[in-house]
Structure 1
């Protein structure tokens, strides 16, 4: 999710997208030991 958000920001320059990226980045660091893929699975569980 971080990669996607950063890519959208880098292509558009949208400040709101950057702020979302920073929020996601902060949330990622608040859950130690979890990789981005594991966090993405929490958002979109694979059934």
Structure 2
């Protein structure tokens, strides 16, 4: 259910869907890996 809600949010940008996702996330602390999260983990060197 969490993955489906996330995919719907990504496609629609619906704030209500995001808030639902966050509520579901509280109930399920194990978060599946999403491809979009990979970009947040990249460390860019500061020049």
User: Unaligned stretches of 5+ in structure 2?
Assistant: 31-47
TM-score by length of 2: 0.59
TM-score by length of 1: 0.59
Q: CA RMSD in A?
A: 1.9
Largest Rg, 1 or 2: 2
Runs of 4+ in 1 over 6 A off after TM superposition: none
Higher helix share: 1
User: Unaligned stretches of 5+ in structure 1?
Assistant: 35-47
Structure with bigger RCO (C-alpha 8 Å, 6+ apart): 1
